[in-house]
Amino acid sequence: MDNTQGHTAADALVVFGVTGDLAYKKIFPSLYAMVKRGMLNVPVIGVAASPWSLAQLRKHAREAIIKSGEIDDKPALDHLLSLLGYVSGDYNDPGTFKALKNTLGDARRPAHYLAIPPELFMTVVKGLGATGLAEQARVIIEKPFGRDLASARELNRVLRSVFADDAIFRIDHYLGKEAIMNILYFRFANTFLEPVWNRNYVASVQITLSEAFGVQGRGAFYESAGCLRDVVQNHLFQIVALLAIEPPAYQSFDAVHTEKHKIFRAMRPLAPDDLVRGQYTGYRKEPGVAKDSDVETFCALRLFIDSWRWQGVPWYLRSGKCLAGTVAEILVELKPPPQRLFDDSAPTNGRDNYLRFRLSPRTAIALAARVKRAGKAFTGDQRELFLLDEQPDKEAPYERLLGDAMAGDGALFAREACIEAAWAVVEPVLAKHHRVVSYKAGSWGPNEADALIAANGSWHNPIAEETE
């Protein structure tokens, strides 16, 4: 699937928030990788409030790249540093955008990347429009896309008032991960899945996205977001959509986006009893966190998709910080055979036939089945057909997504209609929900999450060896 036909490549990249944490940890290492691959040879103009010199920015960029790994191509690093430019100023000051226009020089098709706090998105977009910097340009918006349905709609309205619809790129870095794209490929490149990929054979689906670390000094940000807004409404829902969509009608990512939108529309809006909100012990002692905070650092929810294919199948999603491992995994549990012909085939752990996708830290696909032991007795053991799929030279998500945005390829970016439909699912529980319950750091979350899934068994906890 290729959506690049007919698009003109950007002739400059502008990074708002270039002195921030995201640029340091993700963007500079990705830009370095793009230069090494020959994918980046245009000016990269940083914009931020910090009163830095260009030399300071170059030093900062070099340190960021060194911290992310070794410098294995010094000419590429030197070339990236030579592409950098810097504009210092307040985003509320029209003079900042005039200075940016001068720094861009002859560039006419810049890609403006907003790696800034979401409350500044509309300020910068309006500033770009007022200065004529949006003509023939693209804008790349970093999640979160709003805090609820109303704010998402307002953000989209402002974006469309300044930029053409096909010039707006909403980054969800999860969509750039190789393992996520492999879900789409695995589903529709293989015939054997389709006959069983429905309510007749699937008992339930579980998705776990866990982190072993806490908020890491970002308590103030987390107080404004929480787990439901930070990862569930976007990352986890995108995974659900790829697992649940109908086969696209034709070979195009536009067809994929159309089917994903149908899934978001078919998701049953959440009710308070569908959601367990947890908070790890010690969170309230983090800097910037309220002493009586009710913000969740853990979410577990039960979701239903009211479609022909998935009617009645529960989807269980959970994510959180300070959990037992840093891992992302999907478990699609199949229904048992209609008649148990062998006494030992009752599952010992609550499940025996399933398909497992491990998304990180090492990507893999596993199919579970029971296999007979040698001898006369009809007894067997649980086995997994296990496929490890590691590709050491694969592109990092930001490398791929920045390259795609600059090329004008919107295939892997979130669409406006899908974002708003996803917000509509969580909207009922953003304000009306049960209070957070505490859980011990290093556990798999609060006991209440176990009760949520009890009617369909238990949570699948990825084993320790796979989280190292």
Quote the strand ranges of 321-446, DSSP E. 327-334, 354-360, 364-372, 380-388, 437-439
**Terminal Cα-to-Cα distance of the chain (whole angstroms):** 34
Bridge partners, 267 (sequence order): 305
Quote the strand ranges of 297-451, DSSP E. 298-304, 314-320, 327-334, 354-360, 364-372, 380-388, 437-439
Distance of CA 4 to the CA centre of its chain: 22
Bridge partners, 170 (sequence order): 141, 414
Residue 450: Cβ within 10 Å count: 14
Q: Are strands 327-334 and 354-360 parallel, antiparallel or unpaired?
A: antiparallel
Q: Which of 173, 234, 211 lies closest to 22 in space, CA to CA?
A: 173
Quote the strand ranges of 22-155, DSSP E. 44-48, 84-88, 110-114, 138-142
Q: Which of 467, 81, 153, 443 lies closest to 281 in space, CA to CA?
A: 443
Looking at residue 459, its amino acid is W
Opening angle at CA 410, ends 406 and 415, nearest 5: 130
Q: Is 365 left (phi over 0), alpha (psi -120 to 50) or beta?
A: beta
Among 112, 235, 257, 460, the one annotated catalytic: 235
Q: Is 257 a catalytic residue?
A: no
Q: Cβ-count burial of 359 within 10 angstroms (0-12 exposed, 13-18 middle, 19+ buried)?
A: buried
Cα-flanking dihedrals φ and ψ of residue 63, to 5°?
-65, -40
213-246 b/e with 16+ CB inside 10 Å = b? ebbeeebeebbebbbbbbbbbbbbbbbbbbbbbe
Q: Which of 399, 221, 239 lies closest to 303 in space, CA to CA?
A: 239
Angstrom distance (rounded) from CA 33 to CA 399: 7
Residue 289's H or E segment, with its range, is: none
Angstrom distance (rounded) from CA 334 to CA 380: 19
Angstrom distance (rounded) from CA 42 to CA 36: 13
> Which residues are marked as active site?
235
